[in-house]
Amino acid sequence: MTARILTAAVLAVALAVALTGCPKPTETTSNTSAPATSAATKAPAENAAENAAAPEAASGGLQAKGSDTLLQVAQALAEAYKAVKPDFSISVTGGGTGTGFQALAEGTCDIADASRKIEDKETKACKDKGIEPVENLVGYDGLSVIVNKKNPIEKITIDQLSDLFVGTVTDWKALGGKGEVVLLSRDSTSGTYQYFKENVIQKGDKKSTRDFAAAAQRLASNTQIRDQVASTESAIGYVGWGT
């Protein structure tokens, strides 16, 4: 990998990662609730063993969708479950936390993987469809700020990072580097995007009007950001720690 982590205070801040499950309306309640609500902080194999006798969803399996940050964890949980119940079908896809909550409300998934808490409007959207969301915390994820390995910058403050992504600073020369800054961000459906905006762009002030620069490129996954930083000398982006 030709991207490297840029030391910044933001790296010390952990992201809450929630696996959110809810029963579908009416008669499918008992089928979907058991696998969804049992994923807490236990090891994948332990969860899988406990759930082995759980009844299948009406569709013959489970659909999990949402956070790219949680994608590998969700896939590991699915594989552990299938190891003890191979006939049970589990589909795991990414697309962002917001996408997962939307699918949950629409009844097109059984589990919404999330890298943030569910918002009031998302809870309401679920309840309007007769769905009661249940949150389960499965872990914490660090946020990494990354640059190309050829970038000489070794560390950066939150204020400097915020100014870069707002567009106040547009050239690396201001920070001891060289070349025009290429900003890479997750798209607005991402929980990581929301966390970065609130804690870096707005510096913890939710009333702040500070926002991402118009020039910031919105990418659909952590992997896309990592790969583009690796191939673009003047790029900077942020990803989940394990990406």
**Structure confidence at residue 189 (pLDDT):** 87
**Cut 0.85: pTM above it:** no
Shared-domain flag, residues 133 and 200: no
Shared-domain flag, residues 111 and 175: no
Domain with 234, as residue range(s), is 3-13+142-240
Domain count, the chain: 2
- Direct distance between the N- and C-terminal alpha carbons of the chain, in angstroms, rounded to an integer: 11
Encode pLDDT of 23-32 as tens digits: 333 332 223 2
E strand map for 2-84: 3-5, 7-8, 14-21, 61-66
Structure tokens at 71: 């994608």
Helix (H, G, I), strand (E, B) or coil at 237: strand
Encode pLDDT of 109-155 as tens digits: 999 999 888 999 999 999 999 999 988 888 888 888 999 999 999 88
Shared-domain flag, residues 7 and 56: no
Report the CATH number that the domain containing residue 155 is assigned in CATH.
3.40.190.10
Last residue of a domain, one of 114, 140, 166: 140
Shared-domain flag, residues 66 and 130: yes
